[in-house]
Amino acid sequence: MEDPPPKISARVRRNRTKPEECLECWMRFSYLGERDKHIRSRHPHIASAYSISMERHACQWCHKTYMRKDYLTRHLTRKHGREKTRRGRKRQQQGGGVGELT
């Protein structure tokens, strides 16, 4: 009797098949977002054919611009010693600390 084939997770199977393809250089990607980042940075002349935004991301301190958000985040960390600012609501501070009097 043969052993059943090993079970493979969907993520592992997707990484092996790499269904997303760049039609300019024929590179293959596991996810559409990876392919879009590749096209945005390597082949900007065909980005509109894929409906990929070419919006640039500007540093709020020195106004340098970057094609990808992750490049801006790296710039902020390396050049300004800051992490990218968080979006969304700030957490409200809770009371009850030492020395609080009412």
In order along its 102 residues, the chain shows pLDDT tens digits of 666 667 888 878 777 788 999 999 999 999 999 999 999 889 999 999 989 988 999 999 999 999 888 899 999 999 998 765 555 555 555 555 555 555
pTM to 2 decimals? 0.56
- As a whole number of Å, the end-to-end CA separation of the chain is 77
Q: What total of structural domains would you count in the chain?
A: 2
Residue 76, helix vs strand vs coil? helix
Residues 38 and 66 reside in one and the same domain? no
Domain residue limits at 65: 55-84
Residues 17 and 46 reside in one and the same domain? yes
Residues 42 and 64 reside in one and the same domain? no
Residues 19 and 39 reside in one and the same domain? yes
Residues 33 and 46 reside in one and the same domain? yes
Residues 48 and 20 reside in one and the same domain? yes
Which of 58, 66, 78, 2 lies closest to 37 in space, CA to CA? 66
Q: Which two tokens stand for residue 64?
A: 């340098």
Residue 42 included in any domain: yes
**Predicted local confidence at residue 95, as pLDDT:** 57
Residue 94 included in any domain: no
